[in-house]
Amino acid sequence: MLSASQFKFLTALQVKKYRQKYRNFTVEGTKMVAELLAQTRVRPTALYALERWADANAAILEPFRHVFHAVTEAELKKISALTTPQQVLAVAEMPDAAPEPWAKGAFFLDGIRDPGNLGTILRVADWFGLSAVFCSPDSADAFSPKVVQAGMGAVFRVPVFEMELDDVLALAPGSAVLGAVLDGENAFGAPFEPTSLLVIGGEGSGIRPDAERRLTRRLTIPQAPGSGAESLNASVAAGILAALYREKCPL
């Protein structure tokens, strides 16, 4: 049975300031929690699950029995951020690694506020093997429940940092800074350097002027003649640029 203090702590983790205060975040669902327990970069600190989940996942649960708490469906619903809870909720520590110069390409997200887009971009970074994702302070929180769910476990594997662009650029002076804009050179013919920083602007506004001035190459993903679309979704643009980067800078 959940104590009042446990309930207060778990519900507090749905709010960014408390995630930052406690350096903890939540992970929900059988698949996501299984991924969490199978890796070593992010440490799980507590598991709250239905008994039937514990019985069905006895093997992966065994090393974590000391942090396991059985809960009822009613209790799980109270602590879950999901409309339909999925049998298990884990609490994990945010990684405390310091940002470093990126050895491969990396993303800088300039005001990506939609959690679904941010989660998808984390998946893109994971898929194409980028070194890190740097988020402007006004972007969505990478450790929020919605971003963690949308990222499908990418946050366990991809280093994510909240930083201003100038601080990111100071990590690797002289790196190529490539940004997705509407009036730049054709991205398909442009060169990409191994340590390129790929800048993706926010939904609707694109890359803001202060960030755009720091670009060394302005790239456009060409639009088909007759297309009526005003712009590409931020996560789609990120996926295309990451694919081009990987093609031109193979591992």
Spans of the chain, pLDDT less than 50 = none
Residue 205 buriedness (CB in 10 A; 0-12 / 13-18 / 19+): exposed
For every residue of 97-110, DSSP letters joined together read PPP---SS-EEEEE
Domains of the chain and CATH, by start: 4-93 (3.30.1330.30), 106-248 (3.40.1280.10)
Residue 1's pLDDT is 77
C-alpha 231: how far from its chain's center?
22
CB–CB of 83/60 below 8 Å?
no
Residue 83's pLDDT is 87
Buried b or exposed e, range 208-221, using 16+ CB within 10 angstroms? eeebbebbebbbbb
Reported pTM: 0.93
Element (H, E) at 177: strand 177-186
CB–CB of 107/127 below 8 Å?
no
Residue 230's pLDDT is 80
Residue 38's pLDDT is 94
Residue 226's pLDDT is 83
Residue 194's pLDDT is 93
Cα–Cα dist 89/68, whole Å? 10
pLDDT per position as a tens digit, 67-112 = 999 999 999 999 999 888 889 999 999 998 899 998 899 999 999 9
Which residue type, as a one-letter code, is found at position 49?
Answer: A
